[in-house]
Structure 1
Amino acid sequence: MKKSLFALLLGGLGIGTTEFVMMGLLPDIANNLDVSIPVAGYLISAYALGVVIGAPLLVILAGGYPPKKILITLTIMFTVFNGLSSLAPGYISLFFLRLLSGLPHGAFFGVGAVVASRLADKGKEAQAVSIMFAGLTIANLMGVPLGTFLGHNYSWRYSFLLIAAIGLITLLCLQLWMPKLENNNKTNIAEQLTFFKRLDAWLIISITAIGTGGLFCWISYIAPLLTNVSGFSADQVPFILSWAGLGMLVGNLMGGWLADRYSPAKTSFALLLCMVASLILVSFFSQYKSIALITTFITGALSFSLAAPIQMLMIQTARGAEMFAAAVSQACFNIGNALGAFLGGLPLMAGYSYTSPEWVGVFMALIGAASAAMLIRGTQKSIVTQPQA
């Protein structure tokens, strides 16, 4: 692995840890700050809101700066805001610090995806992007369990200090190993925003914001699914989540390989159909522990196998505004996160079982697959109708 790609992986590790560790720290934070768990849950929403705001905004503001300088600046923001989170005196201050911590998330992955594709060997661009996203999967495998352990046994504030430390290491690695690439973005803000005038751009947004929301229907309610339906104890859930994290790591690398071998659009279509099948299996067979473990690994793998193909779709679609489009895809992933959690919770509020969110996820994944099919058809049609040389 190239050292420059390893630096991007470390950035993904830190971002993934700060995003997902909150799920395990909510009881500790709620108890310490004297708020209810649902109110503490708004801290997760604050981070997601920061991602949606910061992803396109920071990339636009970065303008024509070199990618290395942008990545270092975003990592400084990430490190400072997470470090300050450990010192937050109360709930309100922590809420705004979580929002600020989310600002560099999408922009880092947006710029990082473009940089990774430029650093990659020819024909292995998607695999290079998947290496950066591997940081997110390693976060679920190692960073989140460690941060949760610190929060439970010592203080949730130590969890944010751990994240800030990862940020400092990332800064050092970016400074030492990231080459000074030129910024190929020659378009102004108005030209970059024309990206939204294209049908294929909205199809990719649909794949990301709706299609991937199917997986968030599953993962948002995985803990009660495992305890109330599968019959696992609450103490076993963290280990099963680590098992899902291992699946995410494998799936992420698999998605990058498939996107390079076939095409990002065809890979996304196939993986979304696999997601539909996986969610149906989860719904029907989660009451059996052994099968539940298998479907947890498979569904976890599918959850991150889409990351690299979708990011490459955005980069290929938005020539001249690659960083902006890649950052938009990160905002859309977080919209999918919010939609999946909200829509998946509706049948639970109506009194249905903990397998019911999976059926909402099936519907969302089918919409994403239909969008991918339309994108493939549109691409093939444009090739056929191109004038011969």
Structure 2
Amino acid sequence: MSIVFSGVAIAMVTTVPFATYIASLYSWTYSFTIQAIVSIIALLAIYFAIPPLPVKEKKSYGSQMKILTKPIFMVSTAMNFFMVSAWFSTYSYFAEYLNKAKNMDSTMVSYMLFVFGIIGVIANWVAGKMLNRNITFTTAFFLSGTLIIPLLLYFSDGNMFATVCTIALWGFLYSPSFLNASTYMISSAPEALEFANSLATSFGNLGVTLGTTVGGWIIVSKGVEFSPWLTMAFGFLAFLMIALRQFLEKRGTTNQITVVQCTQQ
């Protein structure tokens, strides 16, 4: 999964900085032309390069829908939603923030996107290794960036070196967000992995929508410099969901032990 999600980070290294640079030279409409070309290439690659994967064992809708009644799964879904909302409430306006809050021109912003992406490729690989050992710890570790980065952006102020270092750390902690959120959510429903995975993507996209929408409202009403604090607010909510899942899992384990003891008696 970390290899697959690295594609997002690779895009940050290549097409995103390039499109931003082209927009700075000509106009933003040219960046959409680049997006269309890349999308067509991706579509052709999916159609011609990916082999067919027939379903070996069909699962009933009922057996998959049961996961929606599991409190642990629903809490994990909320964590996914809040975590992605947290990151995208600021990242969606990455260029706007650096331009107005940090006084960087469009060319410098494209360089920052390049740094962001390079670090992101490494971060996805590291996150994949860490997830194999402990999913909850890894998710919490990278989620901590939603609390740390806003503070560092605030205290870096106009110091260019401090800002660049913060952006590098931002790229490291942000880039595996979809990987961590999806893995965390899927791990709560091992009996319906495919359905859980599809829901993880859906709620992740819903998080992008909420984060971008509320982030835009904050920018219009308060100013772009306030958007990182929204990231922190959503980050706190995501941490609360992790704590709640831990509580539910411990309570479930305690109940199972009690049942076993009663049975033995």
Task: Please say if 1:201 is aligned against 2:69.
Answer: no
Does the C-alpha gap of structure 1 residues 230 and 331 become closer, same or farther in structure 2, counting only changes over 3 Å? same
Name the residue aligned to 2:238: 368
2:85 aligned with 1:213: yes
1:279 equivalent to 2:150? Answer: yes
Partners of 1:254 and 1:307 in 2: CA distance: 14
Paired residues of 1:150 and 1:159 also in contact (CA < 8 A) = no
Corresponding position: 1:244 with 2:116: yes
Whether the 8 Å CA contact 2:21–2:110 is kept in 1: the answer is no
| Aligned equivalents of 2:17, 2:55: Cα separation in 1 | 38
Which residue in the other structure is 1:164 paired with?
40
Shift of residue 330, structure 1, vs aligned partner? 1.0
- For 1:348, the aligned partner's letter is I
Looking at both structures, which has the greater relative contact order when contacts are Cα pairs under 8 Å and sequence separation is at least 6?
2
String of CA shifts for 1:306-330, please: whole Å, max 9, x gaps: 3323222333322332111111111
- Displacement of 1:219 in angstroms is 0.8
1:31-50 equivalences under 5 Å are none
Query: CA offsets per residue over residues 256-280 of structure 1, 9 Å max, x none?
Result: 2221122x22322232223211222
Counterpart amino acid of residue 169 in structure 1: A
- Aligned equivalent of 1:223: 95
Deviations 1:336-375 (A, max 9, x none): 111112222333222x342211111101001001101111
Partner of 1:287, secondary structure, is coil
Describe the SS at the equivalent of 1:232: coil
Q: 2:223 and 2:162 mapped to 1: Cα distance?
A: 18
How many residue pairs are counted as aligned between the two chains?
255
Task: Output one character per residue of 1:128-147: Cα deviation in whole Å (capped at 9) or x when no partner.
Answer: x1111011111111133445
Deviation of the 1:170 alpha carbon: 4.0
Match of 2:227 among 324, 345, 357: 357
Contact 2:14 2:114 in 1 (8 A): yes
Q: Give unpaired runs (5+ residues) of structure 1.
A: 1-128
Contact 2:2 / 2:124 at 8 angstroms: preserved in 1?
yes
CA RMSD of aligned residues (A): 2.6
For the pair 1:306 / 2:194, whether they are aligned, the reply is: no
1:306 and 1:158 map into 2 onto residues whose CA distance is 25
Matches of 1:272 and 1:280, distance apart in 2? 14
| Structure 2 partner of 1:144 | 16
Distance 1:131 1:286, change over 3 A: farther
Amino acid at match of 1:138: I
Among 276, 284, 296, the residue aligned to 2:167: 296
* TM-score where L is the length of structure 2: 0.84
1:160, 1:344 → 2: CA distance? Answer: 26
Where does structure 2 lack aligned partners over 5 or more consecutive residues?
A: none
Identity %, equivalent residues: 18
TM-score under structure 1 length normalisation: 0.59
Q: Is the 8 A contact 1:272 1:366 kept in 2?
A: no
Q: Which residue does 1:134 correspond to in 2? A: 6
| Cα deviations by residue, 1:46-90 (Å, 9 ceiling, x for unpaired) | xxxxxxxxxxxxxxxxxxxxxxxxxxxxxxxxxxxxxxxxxxxxx
**What is the alpha-carbon distance in structure 1 between the residues aligned to residue 68 and residue 105 of structure 2?**
47
1:230 and 1:286 in contact (8 A); partners too: yes
**Does the 8 Å CA contact 2:2/2:179 hold for their aligned counterparts?**
yes
Structure 2 contact 120–176 (Cα < 8 Å) conserved = yes
Which of 160, 167, 174 lines up with 2:50 in the alignment? 174
**Counterpart of 1:320 in 2: which secondary structure?**
helix
**Shift in CA distance, 377/271, structure 1 to aligned 2, threshold 3 Å:** farther
Q: Give the one of 188, 205, 209 matched to 2:60.
A: 188
Judge conservation of contact 1:226–1:237 (CA < 8 Å) in 2: yes
Does structure 2 conserve the Cα–Cα contact (< 8 Å) formed by 1:269 and 1:373? Answer: no
Tell which deviates more after alignment, 161-170 or 366-375: 161-170
Contact 1:282–1:355 (Cα < 8 Å) also in 2: no
1:320 to 191, 195, 204: 191
**1:21-32 counterparts in 2 under 5 A?**
none
